[in-house]
């Protein structure tokens, strides 16, 4: 990986009375905030060690710019399809802001030499930026790495030990940056888009949580007919209380206010014995959402609502009560190694297969174009 320092734009905390309100609105209000003097620039280019401290978990990574050619050459790997409509939206935002306000989250296989270097560096220095989020009960800390020798040491470590990375969050921001880079190379648009603002976190500091689905409408089926169709693919068990799956290939389902445990039948799994990986989201999309509920495209069908794991069972049950004939499916989280296998094979996962943490703030460190 080729990482590069950049001159960051960062918030002037003296002017911010509510960190949560400010950063929650920075995505849409960045231009106005910048013009009003809420932001300033670092004195010179730097790399930035970034730590998020929560009550039960700590994440440490590096904010830097990656060469967009690493993405075009396949060294920054993707595991999701992008949508043209969302790329158009991202392009409009990029042109309006003339800046990237949130880094793309990249995961890489943990390298002890890199983690030890960063720990040693921050142990001797105070952070130059510290922000407390009461809403998330987190503290966001950033250390500036700007002396030439330290920057070169980190660059050399990444070039030596990190041949590739994986997009954990930010597929559309990445693909849109690459589109803008190509347009600038062709002379269609003026601007420098060869750098991608990214936050590189080691695999030890990436958590993948579940992403669940609520589908409104049973495709004209009665409750009993729907359950009969479900029984073609699953061994069904009744649950005394709501819960999420406890293992891969188990799905828990809420329908008609009752909870069930669904285990894929052996003949269903045997259909995929020759596959490199078998994800529950893929099977659910094909066998249940497609064959039973008549969903032709999970990326665009308005009957599907995706519920991120941190919202818990309460969030799933609340969503399921908003519409008639709603059915909810809870999936076991995808492992990071599975995500990497999918990307290494040049394949893609269904949309909303993963909810990845850490979650970064919009407008915390900004890269200008």
| Residues 142 and 128 sit within 8 Å (Cβ to Cβ) | yes
pLDDT above 90 for 351: no
Q: In which band, very low, low, confident or very high, does the pLDDT at 247 lie, cut at 50, 70 and 90?
A: very high
188 pLDDT band, cuts 50/70/90, is: low
Is the per-residue pLDDT at 314 higher than 80?
Answer: yes
E strand or H helix at 30: helix 19-35
**Is a pLDDT exceeding 90 seen at residue 120?**
yes
pLDDT digits (tens, 9 = 90+) for 88-101: 888 888 888 889 99
Output phi, psi for 220, to 5 deg. 80, 5
Q: Which comes out higher in pLDDT, residue 271 or 298?
A: 271
Which is more confident, 85 or 204?
A: 204
pLDDT of residue 331: 97
Tell me the CB-side half-sphere exposure of residue 78, using CA atoms within 13 A. Answer: 19
Average pLDDT, integer, range 104-129: 97
* pLDDT value for 301: 85
CA distance 115 to 10: 25
pLDDT bucket at 369, cuts 50 / 70 / 90: confident
Is 80 exceeded by the pLDDT of residue 155?
yes
Domain extents in the chain:
3-207+357-368, 211-332
**Is-contact 111 340, C-beta < 8 A?**
no
User: H helices within 199-344, ranges in order?
Assistant: 223-230, 266-270, 280-283, 312-320, 336-344
Q: Give 65-83 pLDDT, tens digit per residue.
A: 999 999 999 999 998 877 7
CB-based contact 337:187 (threshold 8 Å): no
pLDDT at 191: 64
Q: What is the pLDDT of residues 190-235, one digit of tens each?
A: 667 889 999 999 999 999 999 999 999 999 999 999 999 999 999 9
Q: What is the pLDDT of residue 32?
A: 95
Cα–Cα dist 246/252, whole Å = 9
Q: Residue 113 to residues 34, 109, 156: CA-CA distances in angstroms?
A: 38, 12, 11
Cα 129 versus chain centre, distance: 24
- For the chain, the first-to-last Cα distance in angstroms comes to 21
Residue 230's φ and ψ, nearest 5 degrees, are -60, -35
In this prediction, residue 317 carries a pLDDT of 96
User: What percent of the chain lies above the pLDDT cut of 70?
Assistant: 98
Mean pLDDT of 151-172: 95
- Res. 40 pLDDT band, cuts 50 70 90: very high
Against a cut of 0.85, is the pTM above it?
yes
Mean pLDDT, range 141-170, rounded to an integer: 96
Q: Is the peptide bond before 358 cis (omega within 30 degrees of 0)?
A: yes
Query: For the ranges 8-22, 178-192, 248-262, which has the lowest average pLDDT?
Result: 178-192
Where does the pLDDT of residue 141 fall: very low under 50, low under 70, confident under 90, or very high at 90 and above?
A: very high
Tell me what the pLDDT averaged over the chain comes to: 93
pLDDT, greater one: 94 or 126: 126
Strands 165-169 and 76-77: parallel
**Residue 219 β-bridge partners:** none
Residue 358's Cβ-side half-sphere holds a number of Cα atoms within 13 Å equal to 32
Q: What was the pLDDT predicted at 276?
A: 83
Tokens at 45, concatenated: 């280019």
The whole-angstrom separation of Cα 234 and Cα 225 is: 14
Residue 124, classed as helix, strand or coil, is: coil
Task: Specify the pLDDT at position 189.
Answer: 62
DSSP assignment string, 51-95:
EEE-SS-EEEEEEEEEEHHHHHTTSEE--S---HHHHHHHHHHHH
């Amino acid at each position: 990986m080729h990482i590069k320092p950049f001159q960051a734009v960062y918030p002037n905390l003296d002017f911010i009375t509510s960190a949560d309100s400010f950063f929650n609105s920075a995505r849409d209000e960045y231009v106005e905030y910048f013009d009003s003097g809420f932001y300033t620039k670092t004195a010179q280019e730097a790399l930035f060690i970034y730590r998020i401290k929560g009550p039960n978990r700590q994440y440490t990574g590096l904010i830097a710019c990656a060469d967009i050619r690493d993405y075009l050459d396949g060294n920054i790997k993707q595991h999701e399809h992008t949508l043209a409509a969302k790329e158009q939206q991202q392009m409009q935002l990029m042109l309006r802001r003339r800046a990237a306000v949130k880094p793309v989250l990249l995961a890489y296989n943990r390298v002890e030499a890199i983690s030890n270097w960063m720990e040693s560096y921050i142990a001797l220095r105070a952070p130059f930026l510290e922000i407390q989020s009461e809403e998330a009960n987190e503290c966001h800390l950033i250390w500036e790495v700007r002396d030439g020798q330290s920057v070169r040491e980190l660059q050399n470590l990444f070039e030596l030990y990190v041949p590739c990375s994986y997009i954990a969050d930010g597929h559309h921001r990445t693909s849109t940056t690459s589109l803008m880079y190509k347009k600038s190379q062709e002379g269609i648009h003026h601007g420098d888009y060869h750098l991608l603002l990214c936050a590189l976190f080691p695999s030890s500091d990436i958590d993948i949580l579940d992403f669940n689905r609520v589908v409104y409408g049973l495709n004209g089926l009665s409750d009993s007919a729907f359950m009969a169709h479900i029984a073609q693919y699953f061994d069904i068990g009744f649950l005394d209380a709501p819960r999420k799956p406890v293992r891969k290939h188990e799905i828990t389902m809420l329908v008609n206010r009752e909870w069930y445990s669904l285990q894929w039948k052996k003949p269903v799994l045997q259909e995929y014995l020759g596959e490199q990986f078998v994800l529950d989201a893929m099977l659910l999309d094909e066998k249940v959402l497609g064959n039973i509920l008549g969903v032709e495209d999970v990326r665009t069908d308005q009957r599907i609502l995706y519920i991120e794991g941190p919202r818990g069972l309460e969030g799933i049950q609340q969503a399921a009560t908003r519409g008639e004939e709603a059915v909810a499916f809870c999936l076991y989280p995808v492992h990071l190694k599975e995500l990497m296998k999918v990307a290494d094979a040049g394949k893609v996962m269904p949309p909303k297969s993963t909810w990845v943490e850490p979650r970064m703030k919009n407008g915390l460190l900004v890269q200008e174009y």
